[in-house]
Structure formats: structure tokens, C-alpha cells
Chain A
Amino acid sequence: DSGVTQTPKHLITATGQRVTLRCSPRSGDLSVYWYQQSLDQGLQFLIQYYNGEERAKGNILERFSAQQFPDLHSELNLSSLELGDSALYFCASSVVYGVTEAFFGQGTRLTVV
């Protein structure tokens, strides 16, 4: 158990809909990262928050947004969903600002039908 909790584990939704994925980082970790893994491909970095502020942005679509709340949990919002958004979405957390080692949650499998 990495200590990072993601909910829900599975999500099935229709095209055009909006979903919210939730992540609770390890106790004490201030940094939260979101990654997308499509069809057994590599992990694509989406976005990072540190102590409530956005710190880095990767290949995140404009239809996607995220935030980190005062209690440090984070949410990834995906809107106007398309079939190609079907993927595993991972959240990771680390204690420091710069990445050394990040701990991953079990992921949310999103299926868009």
C-alpha cells in the first residue's frame, strides 16, 4: 500500500460527459502529480500541484483541469469526454517540491463509451 488513495477505481461514462477523479496523497506529502496511461503505453505526465499551487504542466488537454485543495487532496476534472480519453489515470505524491521519488495510487480506469 503506497498510502496514495484514488477514487473511484473504475468509471464508465458516455462521450460528452464530465467526470471527476479524486486523489488523496500520502500523509505529509505536499506534491501531487497526475499521469495518464493509455493502452499499455508509457505514463504521460499531465499536471503537478504543490501545496495548492499548480507547478508544472505536461500534455494536458484544455478539456482537462485539476486542482489541489487546502487539505492537499486533488481532483482531476475531465470534460467533453471522447473515446480516446479512455485510459488509466494515476495520481502520485511526493513530500518535496522537486521530484525524487513519487508514490503512486492504484489508478482510476476510465472507460468512455
Chain B
Amino acid sequence: DQQVKQNSPSLSVQEGRISILNCDYTNSMFDYFLWYKKYPAEGPTFLISISSIKDKNEDGRFTVFLNKSAKHLSLHIVPSQPGDSAVYFCAASSNAGNMLTFGGGTRLMVKP
């Protein structure tokens, strides 16, 4: 039972355009959500997070939106750069939990 799902395994975007990565979750106990970026041969690195008391969090070119009623979050990257090409994982945790539950990842390719 996948509690966190990233339904798009890959996404290709032109440099300078917006990249939108989506994530759905099923566990209503999740109250904290994170995005991680992973380059080949490296561990995931934290990108941005959002608490369930918010619906938007912004950090530079990265914005995460949370729609609790739809159990959906998205990561917007504007403008996209070739260096953003990586695998992006969304993750979720609950206040009562001790672990991050990860989605399957979306491979983003930003073309120059």
C-alpha cells in the first residue's frame, strides 16, 4: 500500500519554463511534507518542506503547494535550469511518526 505516490516517473521541461512535480498521499495523519532532490551516485538532499498548517511555502525558485482536501502537493520550479535535472522525491511524516514515507520519485530533465 503506497501511502505517497508520484504518478509521473519522468518529466521533461525546457530551460526557463516552469517545472511542476506532483505528489499524492493517502494517509490523513501526515502533517509534514518534504521534497528531496537526488543526483546520481549521491544521497537525497533536502529541498523544501511544508507543514499542514500552511498551503504554500516558497524558497527562491522553489515553491511547494499543499492541498489538504485533495491530499495533494506539488513542487513548482521557476525558472527551470539544466542543473535542476535530477530525481525528485516527495516525502511525508506525521507528528506521531518517526520516519519519512517517500514517493517513488520523478525524474526531471531540463533541456537547454
List A residues at the B interface (Cβ < 8 Å): 2, 4, 6, 31, 33, 35, 40-45, 48, 50, 55-56, 58, 90, 92, 97-107
Number of A-B contacts (CB under 8 A): 70
Q: Which residues of A contact B43 (CB under 8 A)?
A: 2, 4, 6, 90, 92, 104-107
B interface residue count range (under 10 / 10 to 19 / 20 to 34 / 35 or more) = 20 to 34
Q: List 27 A-B contacts (CB under 8 A).
A: A6-B43, A40-B87, A40-B105, A41-B104, A41-B105, A42-B89, A42-B105, A43-B91, A43-B102, A44-B102, A45-B99, A45-B101, A45-B102, A55-B98, A56-B97, A58-B99, A90-B43, A90-B44, A92-B43, A97-B98, A98-B97, A99-B93, A100-B32, A104-B43, A104-B45, A106-B41, A107-B43
